[in-house]
Amino acid sequence: MSGNETVSCLSCVMKSECFNQLNIDELSNADKNKVEIHFKKKEIIAKQGAFASHIMYIKKGLVKLYLEGEHGHQDVIVNFFSAGEVIGLASLYGKSTFEYSVSALEESTLCLIDINIVRTFTQSNAAFSTLLIKKMNEGTVYAYRQLYDITNRQLNGRIAGALIYLAKNVYKRKIFKLTLTRKDLAEFTGMATMSAIRVLNNLKSEGIISDKNGNVEILNMDALEHISRTG
């Protein structure tokens, strides 16, 4: 973890949709109450149980948000977030501690913004508040969907759905460098690591995906979507 030469919020061209709603004074206030930090792969960004002192904006990279396993149980990955996403919103008006952990899946740069400043913006700026609520609602709906999938889909369907989600929502292309591990994929889909590996190998042998040195390509999206729906 290291500090970078930071860019002012006033001149940053990579602001999230909600922070684009802030006026000059609000952006200046945010700039005075944020720190830009570079995290190496696998570094912890937020620790479950620690005080939630900030909201996190991903300027660059990819991170995972997960619940830490207790009493020997494996972790449960809630979601993956790439550049442009704001995370930690559940702590705005919830408990004073993080109910999850966040770590970097690849080298990542995040802006950590004082949570009290963000609370002030939600009270004074309706457009900002509306977009934050929209973002939190999207996260809640996705969590409901993920819970349903893990409960009702077979292993093949879970992995197929995860690959589709990664391609469309995380990496945003059909060919991508899979920076998460097989263990991450298993924790995201609620199965053992060896089960995830077996399903991936089946998809490769059937010509639905290819995996060359970690570079994954979805060769047959229609077949993958069919497995996701019916598996």
At 93-135, the pLDDT tens digits run 878 899 999 999 999 999 999 999 999 999 999 999 999 889 8
Q: Which of 133, 134, 191 is nearest to 160 (CA)?
A: 191
Tokens matching residue 47: 């620790």
- pLDDT bin (cut points 50, 70, 90) of residue 6 is low
**Residue 193 CB-half CA count within 13 A:** 8
Q: What is the DSSP string of 101-138?
A: EEEESSSEEEEEEEHHHHHHHHHH-HHHHHHHHHHHHH
Examine the fold and report which residue of 78, 113, 140 is the final residue of a domain before the chain moves on. 140
pLDDT digits (tens, 9 = 90+) for 27-76: 899 889 999 999 999 999 999 999 999 999 999 999 999 999 887 788 99
- Find the helix packing angle between 155-165 and 182-189, rounded to 10°: 110
CATH code of the domain covering residue 221: 1.10.10.10
- By percentage, how much of the chain surpasses pLDDT 70? 96
Which carries the bigger pLDDT value, residue 9 or residue 181?
181
- Domain annotation covers residue 74: yes
Residues 6+ apart with CB under 8 A from 194: none
Residues 18 and 106 in one domain: yes
Residues of the domain holding 199: 153-230
